[in-house]
């Protein structure tokens, strides 16, 4: 993947959605970095594994947070800039069926 420059307006959105490990700081940094991060990661992985193993997941499309159908896919919500992690600005409605 080519090196992206977040300062370039053309490349900013690509940079934010590149999801490269070095672009992600969910647990802070420095001397106060989250001391529960390894535990938290294992818990998140275990929860995702259980959901994927136990349920059949059928995507139903993108929806706004107000429940309106949307024709575009979600992108990181820039309103949360500075909060560590940018959540998606839209929801993916899914149907879950127990396998």
Q: Which is nearer to ligand HEM, 2 or 29 (CB)?
A: 29
Shortest spacing between CB 7 and ligand HEM, in angstroms: 24
DSSP assignments along 6-62, one per residue: TTSHHHHHHHHHS--GGG--TT--GGG--TTHHHHHHHHHHHHHHHHHHEEEEEEEE
Q: Which is nearer to ligand HEM, 41 or 75 (CB)?
A: 41
Q: Which is nearer to ligand HEM, 83 or 93 (CB)?
A: 83
Q: Which is nearer to ligand HEM, 2 or 21 (CB)?
A: 21
Q: Residue 14: which of 29, 31, 1 has the closest Cα? A: 1
Sign (positive or negative) of CA dihedral 28, 33, 38, 40: negative
Shortest spacing between CB 83 and ligand HEM, in angstroms: 9
**Footprint of ligand HEM (CB under 6 A):** 26-30, 32-36, 39-40, 84
Shortest spacing between CB 22 and ligand HEM, in angstroms: 16
Q: In whole angstroms, give the CA distance from residue 53 to residue 59.
A: 16
């Amino acid at each position: 993947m080519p090196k992206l420059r977040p300062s370039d307006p053309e490349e900013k959105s690509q940079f934010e959605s590149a999801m490269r490990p070095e672009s992600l700081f969910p647990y802070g940094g420095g001397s106060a970095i989250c001391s529960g991060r390894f535990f938290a990661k294992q818990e998140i992985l275990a929860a995702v594994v259980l959901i994927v193993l136990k349920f059949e997941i059928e995507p139903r499309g993108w929806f706004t947070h107000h429940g309106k159908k949307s024709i575009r896919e979600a992108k990181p919500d820039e309103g949360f800039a500075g909060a560590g992690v940018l959540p998606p600005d839209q929801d993916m409605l899914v149907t879950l069926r127990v396998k």
